[in-house]
Chain A
Amino acid sequence: MFEATARDHRNQRVQTSIRLGFLSMTLLLAAPVLIVLGALVYKGMPIISLDFLLGDPTHGMTQGGIFPALVGTVCIVVVALIASVPAGVAAAVYLSEYAPENWLTRAINLGILNLAGVPSIVHALFGVGAFVLFFGFGTSILAASLTLAVMTLPVVIVATKESLQAVPMAFREACWNMGATRWQTIRTVVLPNAVSGILTGVILEVSRTAGETAPIMFTGAAFFLPFLPQSVYDQTMAMSLHLFVISTQVPDVPEALPYGVALVLIGIVLVMNSISIAFRIWLRNRKKW
C-alpha cells in the first residue's frame, strides 16, 4: 500500500532537478562575492596596520597611509545622513500617513521611483550645478554630501514608506477611535513600530554612500590633499576616489595598496552596518509587544 507510482517518481525527479537548478543559481551569485572578498583579504590584509590607517599618503601616493581619505569618507557619509534621513523620513511619513490618494501623490511616488533609477553621474552633474555653483558651496564636503543625499533619498523614502505601511491598520484605527490626532498616532504607535524598517533603509544608504565615486569627484573629493578637513566647506580626500586614483592614475603603486584601500572601504561599510544592526537588535529587545 501507498507505494510510489511512476507519476510520483517523475514528479520527484522534476522536483529534484528544479531544486538543484535554484541552488546552483544561488551559488553562482554568491561565488563572486566570496571570491572578491577572499582576494581582498588575501592581497590587502598584509598592508593593513595602524600606520596604514592613521598615516598620510606619501611618495606620490605610492606609500604611506590613508588617514585623510578615511576621515573624509566618514565625514561625507555622516553629513549625507544628517541631510537625507530627516528629510526622507518626513517625506515618507507624509506620503504614507497624511497624503490623500490623488494624482499628485501618485505623481510624487512615481517621481521618487524614477529618482532611484537616475545614474549617479547625472546626480554628480546636478550636484555641480546646484550645490557647487548655484548655492555657492564650492567643491566641498557639504556639496558632495548633499549630492549623495539627493541620490540616496529615494532609498530612504521607499524603505520608510514600506515599513510604515507594514504597521497594522488596526493600531491606527484604535488610536483614531480614542480621539488621537494623526500626529499623536504616528508618534506613539506608527513610528516606534517602523523604526527597524527605517534603519534598514539607512543601512542600505550608508553602504551606497560610502562607496560612491562619481557623485563626489566633481563636488567635493580631492585627488590628493593630505590634510584633514577643517569644516564642511573644505574639500577632502575620500576612500572611493582614492582607490580609483591609485588604481588607474598613479604609476608604480605597489600591488597590495589598492587592495588594502578596498578592504578598509568595505570595513567602514561593515562597521557602520553593524552599528545600525546592533541598534535594531537593541530596539527589538526593548519592544514591549
Chain B
Amino acid sequence: MAELAIRTEQLSLWYGTFQALFDVDFDVKKGIVTSLIGPSGCGKSTLLRSVNRIVERGGTVKTTGRIEVLGQDIHAPNVELVQLRKSVGMVFQRPNPLPLTIRDNVLFSTRLHRDRLSRAEQDEIVEKALSTVLLWDAVKDRLDHPARVLSLEEQQKLCIARLLPIQPAVLLMDEPCSALDPTGTEAVEELIWTLRGDYTILIVTHNMAQARRASDECAFMLMGKLVEHTPTDQMFVTPKHQETADYIEGRYG
C-alpha cells in the first residue's frame, strides 16, 4: 500500500449542535491528486478545513475521531498549529492574494517562518516559486506591482506559489478554479497536474469533468458521509454506489 499523506479515522464534526461530518474514514495517498466531490453542503470544505485545523477558528466546533497528517495525529497535545499549517497549505475558491506586491506575496510565508534573508536568497525563492507555478515569465518584469493587478488566473497561481517556499507536504484546494473562466481553469488544472508528485494534493471541485481529467483518485461525499473513494477512472465508469452514479450523472444539484 502506498504511503499516506492524510488519514482520518471515524472523524465526526459538529458546528454547535449541527453535525457536519459523520464517521469519515478517508485515506489520501502521498504524491497524487485526490479530488473530493459531492453536492453543495455535504461537508467537503469542512473536511478540508479540518486537515489544517483552521475549522476550529469558528469557535463552537467539536471534533471526535482522529486525523493523521504524514502519520502524525494532528490533535496530539504537542502539535504546534503554526508548524501544522506550514506543511498543510490551503488554496481558496476566490483568489486571495495579500494586499502586497507580487514579490512580497511570494516571500510572505518565508518571512513568517525564517529570519533575515539576503536579497539574493529572496530573489531565488521568488523566481523558483513563480517558475514552478508557470507564472515567472508573465510577471518577472512587474514583481513590484500590487498583486491585485494580475488576472484572476494569475492571482490563483500566485496564491499557490506563495505556499511553496515553506515546502508544504500537502496542498488543500477548495474549488480553486470556480472563480476562473474556462481558459484560467484549464491553466490552473494543468498547473495542479505538474505539482503532482512533489506535493500531495486534495482538491474539492464541483466540476465533474475536472475531477475526471485532473485527479488520480476521487472521493464522493453525501450529507457528511464519505460514500465512495476509488481510482478516478473506476468511479466515473463503474461507480459502486447508486448515490455516486446518480450524482456523477447529474441527478443531484
Contacts and interface: CB of A to CB of B under 8 A. Distances in A.
Interface of A: 100-101, 168, 170-171, 173-181, 184, 188-189, 192-193, 287-289
B175 interface: no
Contacts of A184: 112
Contacts of A175: 98, 108
Contact of B57 (A170, A176, A179, A188): A176
Q: Is the interface of A mostly helix, strand, loop or mixed?
A: helix
B86 A179 contact: yes
Nearest to B147: A289
A171 B96 contact: yes
A128 B146 CA distance: 51
B110 to A, nearest CB: 10
Nearest to B88: A177
Contacts of B144: 288
Interface string B109-128: 10011000000000000000
A179 B90 contact: no
B108 A173 contact: no
Interface of B: 52, 54, 57, 59, 81-86, 89-90, 92, 94, 96-101, 104, 108-109, 112-113, 144-148, 159, 162-163, 166
A288 B100 contact: yes
B100 A289 contact: yes
Nearest to B86: A179
B104 A288 contact: yes
Nearest to A171: B98
Given A100-B59, A289-B148, A179 B81 contact: yes
18 contacts: A100-B59, A101-B59, A176-B57, A176-B85, A177-B52, A177-B90, A178-B162, A179-B84, A179-B112, A179-B113, A180-B82, A180-B112, A189-B98, A189-B99, A288-B99, A288-B144, A289-B147, A289-B148
Contacts of B98: 171, 174-175, 189
B117 to A, nearest CB: 16
Given A171-B96, A289-B148, A178 B59 contact: no
Contact of A173 (B83, B86, B92): B92
Nearest to B87: A179
Contact of B89 (A101, A178, A287, A289): A178
Nearest to B95: A170
A100 B58 CA distance: 10
B59 to A, nearest CB: 7
B239 to A, nearest CB: 33
Given A170-B96, A176-B85, A289-B147, 19 more contacts: A168-B96, A170-B92, A171-B99, A173-B96, A176-B54, A178-B86, A178-B108, A179-B82, A179-B166, A180-B82, A180-B112, A188-B108, A192-B99, A287-B99, A288-B99, A288-B100, A289-B99, A289-B100, A289-B146
Contact of A193 (B59, B92, B99, B108): B99
Contacts of B94: 170
A93 to B, nearest CB: 17
Contacts of B145: 288
Nearest first, the 3 closest Cβ-Cβ pairs linking A and B are A289-B146, A289-B99, A179-B85
